[in-house]
Structure 1
Amino acid sequence: MTGIGPRLKRERVRLKLSQSALGAIGGVEANAQGNYENGLRSPRADYLSKLSEVGIDVNYVITGRKMPAPANDNATAESESLLEQTVSGLHASLHGMNQHLYQLARLLEARQGQDEDLDHEYVQNLCKDAEAISLAAVRLIYNTARTR
């Protein structure tokens, strides 16, 4: 079992939540939750952002990699430095991604007015997804800035 769906299910089971309960937390119906877990649909960024607030390891769900647990409660200077570097790199990547998403949305909106063959609903959905990803990225930047 590989992919986002099975990992999402493992996280749900780990937290002892039903599909309907996790779906409600993420703002979707139980059937949509089932579709995510079965790999029939991909979850949106705003849904994943909501799940992260209740303890779902979204990094694991998306990448399949868990962050290693700290060795002890006393953080060493080395691990603090690594954390600082990681957060700085994450912020730079997220800022760049936000700029590209903004450009993509604006270009698609401009093209939508010029190209009659372009599926307007498809463009609107892409713009909504880009906005949701940007919002989740901004939240992540804010939340990780507090770890410094």
Structure 2
Amino acid sequence: MTGIGPRLKRERVRLKLSQSALGAIGGVETNAQGNYENGMRYPRADYLSRVSEVGVDVSYVVTGQSRPPPANDASSAQPSENLEHVIAALHESLHGMSRNLYQMTRMLEARTQHTEPDGACSLDALCNEAESISLAALRLIYTTARLV
């Protein structure tokens, strides 16, 4: 399983919760929970914060990497510390994605200039999509930065 949706489902099953139960905890309807798990939509930071309080490993859901177990006991970790860690990892991933999108569009632009002009139309569409994704990533970084 790859992607946020399947990892979220794996966490829900691990915790023995129904879609409606986890959705209610996260503050969303059952159909929204299903859309998250099917990869049709992505959960917001406030949803992730709420479900982390019942044991969902948000670090795993967002990045695919489980957080290390606490050094002492589970009660010693503060939820805000876990959230800060997840937000930092998310920011790093979003910055990396934005850099890669920029590099990809520049490389394709250079390739298209040396080949056929018909590719310019599809390149424009690709650049517009990459710009939209980058702007959404920046908005997410800004929004999540205010949570900590």
Does the 8 Å contact 1:46/1:133 carry over to 2? no
Cα deviation code 1:87-109 (max 9, x no counterpart)? 7xx68x85xx7xxxxxxxxxxxx
Note the residue ranges of structure 1 that are not aligned, 5 or more in a row: 75-86, 98-125, 139-148
Match of 2:46 in 1: 46
Distance 1:135 1:50, change over 3 A: farther
- TM-score in terms of structure 2 length: 0.52
Distance 1:135 1:24, change over 3 A: farther
Distance 1:2 1:25, change over 3 A: same
Distance 1:135 1:20, change over 3 A: farther
- TM-score in terms of structure 1 length: 0.52
Match of 1:134 in 2: 145
Match of 1:3 in 2: 3
In 2: Cα distance, 1:55 partner to 1:135 partner: 23
Q: Where in structure 2 are the equivalents of 1:23-34 lying within 5 Å?
A: 23-34=23-34
Cα deviation code 1:33-78 (max 9, x no counterpart)? 00000000011111111111111100000010012336x749xxxx
- Give yes or no for the alignment of 1:65 onto 2:65: yes
Distance 1:67 1:129, change over 3 A: closer
Q: Which amino acid is the alignment partner of residue 52 of structure 2?
A: S
Distance 1:63 1:128, change over 3 A: closer
SS in 2 for 1:56: coil
In 2: Cα distance, 1:50 partner to 1:73 partner: 24
Query: Any runs of at least 4 consecutive aligned residues in structure 1 with deviations exceeding 2 A, and if so which?
Result: 67-70, 126-132
Match of 2:122 in 1: none
Match of 2:36 in 1: 36
Matched positions, count: 92
Match of 1:16 in 2: 16
User: Aligned-pair RMSD on alpha carbons?
Assistant: 3.1
SS in 1 for 2:60: helix
Sequence identity (%) = 66
SS in 2 for 1:49: helix
